[in-house]
Structure 1
């Protein structure tokens, strides 16, 4: 049995699986549906108006709380405090209690309370603090002889326009798109490595448990069998990703067209028009990214990262008799993947070309994730090439000792191996 036959067998067994076919075509639709559901749920409470009671007998702040689309303030200061609390607890979302003080400046040291039956919204609590702070600040400035209104008029809100030395105009929305796309690619690689790596491990354990492996191993070398499983499963994964990409771009194009049609077909309010303009800006910034470079890099890093980790998954599958026994060996594999995600989100976002991000984009166990998060921000070609070379060189090294574990463990039954025994197998 040749390597090509093993690859073909593994590939066919994956792509002809009903769950593989269903999830390949259903996943993009589920993602779009989930996004639509989140957008719908986010807008459900937009029309809900919360009634907030205010108790301020000294008239210090109650006039500073202004009604808006989601909040309406009602003054209950005329009635006794206990009665106001009782009414507010039954008919209002909460009660703002402003104690009596000798002057407004003492409000900072007094105990302004917000009473409610439920945990308050942190944004609303910040609104209360902002109102109090502005009132106190305005009063103190007036006491010092400053005109607060003139100070407010003097405040300037400037907008910074971004551009490259080449003259190309960019926008800050482009950075947001780069963060989202880079994070998405890095997270996808982590998930694909874990999902397809586990598929390789389960396949090895299943054949080993059913004793099919004893028949297969008589006509093929253990190394060929291991590589056939890894390559066959990776080809199925790449096919699935390509289908997802085509469907995703198709859905994205349809949604873009829908937004354009809506903007031209109906008279929009100024707010909606600005929202649509913002969406178009994000879309235009997305098309400015090196999409083809990112796609090719994703395929290469997916193959390299998948081969690297799947060889370890295959070795673990050969060393154990059940998935339960494999748990003790999976943590050292998953930890570098998680580290790559954390490094990506906490360092690449803030400084994509910094030392930490650059170093971890060269370390083969984390480079598939971290480098994919860096590429949208612009990475020198030589860094990408060096990172890929190190990744594949490490893969060949890992395959060498993983094959030794696979060769010994594939015919071992009934005993749970330890790390010490695995190291002994490397010497055989």
Structure 2
């Protein structure tokens, strides 16, 4: 049996599987549905108005709390404090009560203002109360010291730094956010694909082993060739699924964008139209920044790092599948495989974001076990071509080394039944 036949068999068994077909076409719809649901839930309470009572007998702060779209303040200072507390606590009209006690000096209120409520308050709302108190006391302190607060406010300015490269190409601050999102997305996709399809390879080996089909297959093909056929066939199925998701995702995005655009245009008022123009201008800036990214390098690198990372980890998944008799027994061996993937994600999000060209980010983008994730996070920020090529060479070089060891485990373990292997036994298999 040739390698091409094994690859074809594995590929067909994966793509013709009902769960594979369903998830291939259902996943983009589920992602869009989840995004829509999250956006809807985020806007559910946007129009809700919360009533907040204020008890400020001295009248220090009651005029400083201004009504907003979502918060309305009511002064209950004329009531006795206990009556006001009872009305707010037992009634359904108010969310809470801001209590400002009488003090000898306004500066003492910096630590004595209270917010009373039955439920835990929103952190943004608490920060807003603290901001009002801080502003009031700051104004008072400046006045005592002989400073004119209004003049100080007029003297303040907001600087805008224009970003550009030495080549003369202009960029903008939000461009870094775009690079973080794109790099993080591709890095996270590689991690998820490696885990999902690596488990596919492992389950396939375990299934054939437990059904004793492997004994028939192994009589006509070498274990190494069988393992490589499973890895390559499954990787092709994964790439096909990703391409289908990409096409469906772009199609859904195009459809939803057009539908959304029609709805906005139909109901647009002058103010809304002005906001729409501003939003379109902002969208054009983001689109322009995206087009400045090395999109071709990102796409090609994603494919290569996905294949390299998948081959590297799938050889280990295949070896584990051959060594155990059930998926339950495999759990003790999966942690050493998953840990480098998780480390790559953490390094990516905690070091690449802050310093994409730093020593830590550069080193981990070269280490084969983490490079598929970390390097993909770095590429949007601009990585020298020699570093990308070096990382790829190290990745595939390590794969050939790892697959040699994995093949030894696979060759022995594939015909072992009825006993849970230990790390010590697996190391012995490497000597055979």
TM-score of the pair, normalised by structure 2: 0.96
For the pair 1:394 / 2:395, whether they are aligned, the reply is: no
Q: What is aligned with 1:245?
A: 246
Equivalent of 1:307 in 311, 333, 336? 311
Equivalent of 2:425 in 397, 402, 421? 421
Q: Aligned partners of 1:362, 1:376: CA distance in 2, in Å?
A: 16
Q: What is aligned with 1:68?
A: 68
For the pair 1:361 / 2:365, whether they are aligned, the reply is: yes
1:35 CA displacement: 1.4
In the TM superposition, what whole-angstrom CA distance separates every residue of 1:170-202 from its partner, at most 9, and x where no partner exists? Answer: 122221111111111011000000000000000
1:233 CA displacement: 0.2
In the TM superposition, what whole-angstrom CA distance separates every residue of 1:297-339 from its partner, at most 9, and x where no partner exists? Answer: 1000000000000000000000000011000000000000000
**Pairing of 1:119-130 with structure 2 (within 5 A):** 119-130=120-131
Tell me the matched-pair count: 427
In the TM superposition, what whole-angstrom CA distance separates every residue of 1:129-186 from its partner, at most 9, and x where no partner exists? Answer: 1111111111000000000011111111122222222222212222111111111101
Q: What is aligned with 1:107?
A: 109
Q: Verify the 8 A CA contact 1:7 1:228 in the aligned structure 2.
A: yes
Q: Aligned partners of 1:78, 1:105: CA distance in 2, in Å?
A: 23
Q: What is aligned with 1:94?
A: 96
Q: Verify the 8 A CA contact 1:263 1:276 in the aligned structure 2.
A: no
Q: What is aligned with 2:324?
A: 320
Q: What is aligned with 1:210?
A: 211
Q: Aligned partners of 1:249, 1:366: CA distance in 2, in Å?
A: 29
Q: What is aligned with 2:31?
A: 31
Higher mean C-alpha displacement, 29-38 vs 308-317? 29-38
SS of 2:85's equivalent in the other structure is helix
Q: What is aligned with 2:414?
A: 410
Q: Aligned partners of 1:268, 1:376: CA distance in 2, in Å?
A: 38
In the TM superposition, what whole-angstrom CA distance separates every residue of 1:220-276 from its partner, at most 9, and x where no partner exists? Answer: 000011001000000000011111122223333444555666676644524454334
Q: Verify the 8 A CA contact 1:173 1:281 in the aligned structure 2.
A: no
SS of 1:157's equivalent in the other structure is coil
Unaligned runs of 5+ in 1: none
Q: CA RMSD in A?
A: 1.5
Q: Verify the 8 A CA contact 1:263 1:273 in the aligned structure 2.
A: no
Q: Verify the 8 A CA contact 1:57 1:77 in the aligned structure 2.
A: yes
Q: What is aligned with 1:151?
A: 152
Q: Aligned partners of 1:325, 1:413: CA distance in 2, in Å?
A: 12
1:9 CA displacement: 0.3
Higher mean C-alpha displacement, 31-40 vs 145-154? 31-40
SS of 2:207's equivalent in the other structure is helix
SS of 1:46's equivalent in the other structure is coil
Higher mean C-alpha displacement, 169-178 vs 62-71? 169-178
Q: What is aligned with 1:160?
A: 161
Higher mean C-alpha displacement, 260-269 vs 223-232? 260-269
For the pair 1:370 / 2:374, whether they are aligned, the reply is: yes
Q: Are residues 275 and 104 of structure 1, via their aligned partners in 2, closer, same or farther at CA, if it must alter by over 3 Å?
A: farther
SS of 1:281's equivalent in the other structure is helix
Q: Verify the 8 A CA contact 1:304 1:392 in the aligned structure 2.
A: yes
Q: Aligned partners of 1:63, 1:241: CA distance in 2, in Å?
A: 58
Q: Aligned partners of 1:141, 1:185: CA distance in 2, in Å?
A: 52
Q: What is aligned with 2:40?
A: 40
Higher mean C-alpha displacement, 410-419 vs 173-182? 173-182
Q: Aligned partners of 2:395, 2:269: CA distance in 1, in Å?
A: 54
SS of 1:324's equivalent in the other structure is coil
Q: What is aligned with 2:235?
A: 234
SS of 2:46's equivalent in the other structure is helix
SS of 1:39's equivalent in the other structure is helix
1:287 CA displacement: 2.6
